[in-house]
C-alpha cells in the first residue's frame, strides 16, 4: 500500500522530476511546514520532524538544520503518515512500529522509486545516492526493496514513470558522480 501511494504522488501531481520536494508535496496535501527555528525555540525537540494532524494545526514541524538528505527523507516520512491515514481517528490503525515501517517505505519509494531505478539501470547504493539525492541509508533500503521489484508485476507504474519522467531518466542514465540539489 505504501509503495503504490508513494508512486501515485507522481501522477497525482504530475511530477516530472524525481528530485521531489517533500515540503512542496506536504503543502499540496494541505499541510503547513514550520521549522523549529522560525518558532524561536530555545531547546529544539529531539525529533527531526513530527506531524501534528489536529485540524486547528495540521502541520509538520521540522529541524531545518538537519542534514539535507535526512531532512528530505524525514519530511517524506511525515508525508507518508498523512497520506497513509495513520492519524485518521476513524481508521483502523496499525501498531505504531508498523506505521513507522510503512511511512519509511513510503518515503523511500517517493524519493527513489523502484520503477525509475529499474528504468535507469542503477545497481549500486552510490548510484542511487547520486541520482536521487538521498542518504546512503535510504539508498540501501531502496536497493533491498529492489530485490522484490519486478517490472512484470507493475507494468503500469513502469510505463507511468517512463511517460512522466523521460528527461529525468535520460539525464540520470548519464549521471554518475554529479549531484543536483535544490534547497529545502
CATH of domain 2-173: 1.10.10.2910
- Which pLDDT belongs to residue 35? 94
Cβ-based burial of 26 (10 A; exposed 0-12, middle 13-18, buried ≥19): buried
pLDDT tens digits, one per residue of 112-160:
999 999 999 988 999 999 999 999 999 999 998 888 777 788 888 899 9
Residue 40 pLDDT > 90, yes or no?
A: no
Instruction: Give me the mean pLDDT over the 27-56 stretch.
Output: 90
Highest mean pLDDT among 18-32, 135-149, 159-173: 18-32
- Which pLDDT belongs to residue 153? 80
Please state the pTM of the whole predicted model.
0.87
User: What's the pLDDT band for 165 if we cut at 50, 70, 90?
Assistant: very high
Q: Residue 82 has which C-alpha cell?
A: 498523512
Q: Where are the domains of the chain?
A: 2-173
**Mean pLDDT score across all residues of the chain:** 88
Distance CA 48, CA 123 (A): 30
Amino acid at each position: 500500500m505504501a509503495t503504490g501511494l508513494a508512486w501515485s504522488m507522481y501522477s497525482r501531481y504530475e511530477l516530472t522530476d524525481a528530485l521531489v520536494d517533500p515540503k512542496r508535496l506536504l503543502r499540496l496535501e494541505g499541510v503547513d511546514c514550520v521549522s523549529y527555528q522560525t518558532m524561536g525555540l530555545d531547546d529544539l525537540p529531539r525529533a527531526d520532524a513530527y506531524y501534528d494532524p489536529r485540524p486547528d494545526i495540521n502541520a509538520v514541524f521540522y529541524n531545518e538544520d538537519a542534514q539535507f538528505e535526512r531532512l528530505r527523507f524525514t519530511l517524506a516520512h511525515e508525508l507518508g503518515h498523512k497520506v497513509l491515514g495513520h492519524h485518521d481517528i476513524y481508521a483502523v490503525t496499525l501498531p505504531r512500529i508498523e506505521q513507522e515501517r510503512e511511512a519509511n517505505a513510503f518515503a523511500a519509494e517517493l524519493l527513489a522509486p523502484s520503477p525509475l531505478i529499474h528504468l535507469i539501470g542503477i545497481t549500486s547504493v552510490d548510484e542511487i545516492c547520486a541520482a536521487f539525492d538521498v542518504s546512503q541509508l535510504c539508498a540501501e533500503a531502496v536497493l533491498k526493496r529492489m530485490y522484490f521489484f519486478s517490472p512484470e508485476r507493475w507494468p503500469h507504474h513502469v510505463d507511468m514513470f517512463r511517460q512522466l519522467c523521460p528527461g529525468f531518466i535520460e539525464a540520470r542514465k548519464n549521471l554518475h558522480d554529479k549531484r543536483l540539489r535544490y534547497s529545502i
